[in-house]
Amino acid sequence: MRPILQINDVSRTFKLGGMFFGKKIAAVDQVAIELPGDKPQIMSIVGESGSGKTTLAKLILRLLDPSSGTIVLDGVPLSAYNKRDKRKEFLKKVQPIFQNPFTSFSARKTVDTYLFETAMNLDVAANKKEALAVVTDVLKSVGLEYAHIKGKYPNQFSGGELQRISIARALIPKPSLIVADEPVAMIDASLRMNIVNLFKKLKDEYNVNFIYITHDLSTAYYVSDYIATMYKGNLIEFGHARNILNNPSHPYTELLLDSIPRVGKKWAEDALLADFESKQESEAGCKFAGRCPYAKDVCHSVEPYMVHLDTEHKVLCLKHNDYKTGNLAFVHKNSNHSDKKDNSHSISG
């Protein structure tokens, strides 16, 4: 069966500065991902701020056009939807969920108005009576009753409730793909798992695939079928979530995993990331070399290439590349580090 989503060597560059002396920045740099279409999947795209994950989400949502490469949804290139009369067809197939639910709704309109308009504008319902049945159904799917939201404005809901309404709205056309960009970032920590649990439930109930953009690794590793790790525009590791969790093959993925709180261990939030961030990053070679605990001199001068460790696990790192001198021996700079480190990360809370 063909993939539901193919991202084929996609890049997106932006120019900073003036016309003559400006500098081009690759926010997304030759990213290639395939999401299988045999059953509904959740793929998390993880990374810190500036990794390119949100830019990639905007490319999938057609809010930006790629500078190069193509994106294909269920066999159809996204460029096929560029014509104005194809916009509605695209919105039936792909729906967004944004980070801040309060910016998704105008304070001047009741939230149920948005739901009715979506149902009717996308030809899901022919009239308000049919739309009411659809709206009632999707609200029940996210744990809400229509009577609870009827006639109310956005400021009458909590962030968690409003995000559930956003999810319900995205479900109305029964899309094949929902792109959720940091959907729990603005929600109280105690309620975040409720939202990501919804993704797992709705994936099968609505036969919908999710792209989950996040820096919150504790939720990503819990909810994902596949994980794509990004760093400074590059896809640096991709594979089954279980493989990534149990056998991270890129030093940056290891670093992100180490930032997840573990049972029985006190966690100082972002302490490890801040420590590495203070190190100078190299301008040539591997983009991660300046922060990498395994880095050798060659990492600052030679760019790594993507290697398939198996059919569905690939990594962009010189320690997996065959360099001129053969396989390089990469050793952690700290003498007490073992290559056989414990990669079991029990997520607390």
- 160-174, 289-303, 319-333: range with lowest mean pLDDT: 319-333
Span 280-290, mean pLDDT?
Answer: 74
| Tokens, residue 134 | 């659809």
Interval 162-183 mean pLDDT: 95
Q: In angstroms, rounded to a whole number, what is the distance separating the alpha carbons of residues 226 and 202?
A: 17
Q: pLDDT at position 101, please?
A: 87
Percent above pLDDT 70 for the chain: 84
- pLDDT category, 189, cuts 50, 70, 90? confident
Q: Select the highest-mean-pLDDT range: 58-72, 205-219, 267-281, 294-308.
A: 58-72
pLDDT of residue 186: 79
Give the pLDDT score at 219: 82
Give the mean pLDDT of 30-44: 94
pLDDT higher than 80, residue 280: no
pLDDT at 40: 95
- Most confident option among 14-28, 157-171, 213-227, 327-341: 157-171
pLDDT of residue 16: 79
Residue 307 or 284, more confident: 307
- What mean pLDDT comes out for the span 210-222? 86
Note whether 208 and 175 are within 8 A (CB): yes
Q: What is the pTM of this model?
A: 0.85
User: For the residues 53-68, what does the mean pLDDT come to?
Assistant: 96
Q: Tell me the pLDDT band of 10, cut-offs 50, 70 and 90.
A: very high
What domains, with CATH codes, occur in the chain?
A: 5-246 (3.40.50.300), 248-339 (no CATH)
Per-residue model confidence (pLDDT) at position 265: 40
Distance of alpha carbon 341 from alpha carbon 100, whole angstroms: 38
Quote the strand ranges of the chain, DSSP E: 5-16, 23-35, 42-46, 68-73, 76-77, 94-97, 177-181, 209-214, 226-231, 234-240, 306-310, 313-316, 322-323, 326-327
Per-residue confidence (pLDDT) for residue 329, from 0 to 100: 57
The predicted structure's pLDDT at residue 287: 92
> Mean of the per-residue pLDDT values for the chain?
84
Mean pLDDT of 61-79: 95
CA atoms in the 13 A half-sphere facing the CB of 190: 0
Percent of the chain with pLDDT over 90: 59
Tell me the two tokens of residue 48. Answer: 């810190």
Q: What's residue 53's pLDDT? A: 94
pLDDT in tens, 126-172: 999 999 999 999 999 999 999 999 999 999 999 899 999 999 999 99
Instruction: Report how far residue 130's alpha carbon sits from residue 134's, in angstroms, rounded to the nearest whole number.
Output: 7
For 220-231, what is each residue's pLDDT tens digit? 878 999 999 999
Task: Report the distance separating Cα 56 and Cα 197, nearest Å.
Answer: 24
